[in-house]
A = this chain, B = another copy of it.
Amino acid sequence: MVVHKDQIRDDIVSVAAKIFTRFGYKKTTMEEIAMASRKGKSSIYYYFSSKEDIFKAVVEKEAEELKKDLKMAIDEVENPINQLKKFILFRMHKLKTLTNFHTALKSDSLSHFKFIENIRKEYDQDEIEIVTRILKIGIEREKFVIDDPDLAAVALVTAMKGLEIPLFINKEHGRIEDRLENLIQFLFFGLIKQ
């Protein structure tokens, strides 16, 4: 029956996610996925049309998770400025656990998969949407002075991505929060009401 089939697909995706996380796309074999799922290799092809197809499902699942958790994390905080901080920090931490989605975003050895381009765009869109919402609320509450919040959101997200790599590389976790403070001050220089 159909429901059951989705369940098995999900199981396979979970199992595959772990293996992809450990070994990366190329070094992961269908045989491994099959064995770990306790199925025959060809049964996997009953549920997925290809290795790429499984990977796609894995990445999409991780993207969903990130999106959902991001929204939840932000809602836990009140002040829009703190929401921004939380957004940047939480995103960064969470991304470390979502290895497959993260490499899908970064790796160019994977960029020949057309689906990755779509995921990127979609995810960018989501981020901008979230930030825009935060900014607009901030403006309403007279925390921010921004003429064009849509434009500002794009700029902010872009800047954030630019800063992601140095932050990612930096191992000194304690200091990230401090630097984040500076980042926000910098990005919103003159825009935050004192």
A interface residue numbers (CB < 8 A to B): 23, 27
Copies of this subunit = 2
Residues of B within 8 A of A27 (CB): 23, 27
Inter-chain CA distance A27–B28, complex, in Å, is 9
Nearest CB on B from A146, distance (A): 47
Inter-chain CA distance A27–B27, complex, in Å, is 7
Nearest CB on B from A102, distance (A): 18
Q: Which 3 A-B pairs have the closest CB atoms?
A: A27-B27, A23-B27, A23-B23
Inter-chain CA distance A23–B23, complex, in Å, is 7
Residues of B within 8 A of A23 (CB): 23, 27
Inter-chain CA distance A95–B27, complex, in Å, is 26
Inter-chain CA distance A27–B23, complex, in Å, is 9
Inter-chain CA distance A23–B32, complex, in Å, is 14
Inter-chain CA distance A27–B26, complex, in Å, is 10
Inter-chain CA distance A15–B41, complex, in Å, is 34
Inter-chain CA distance A23–B26, complex, in Å, is 12
In the assembled complex, 3 residue pairs joining A and B whose CB atoms fall closer than 8 Å, in A order, are A23-B23, A23-B27, A27-B27
Inter-chain CA distance A185–B33, complex, in Å, is 45
Inter-chain CA distance A165–B103, complex, in Å, is 35
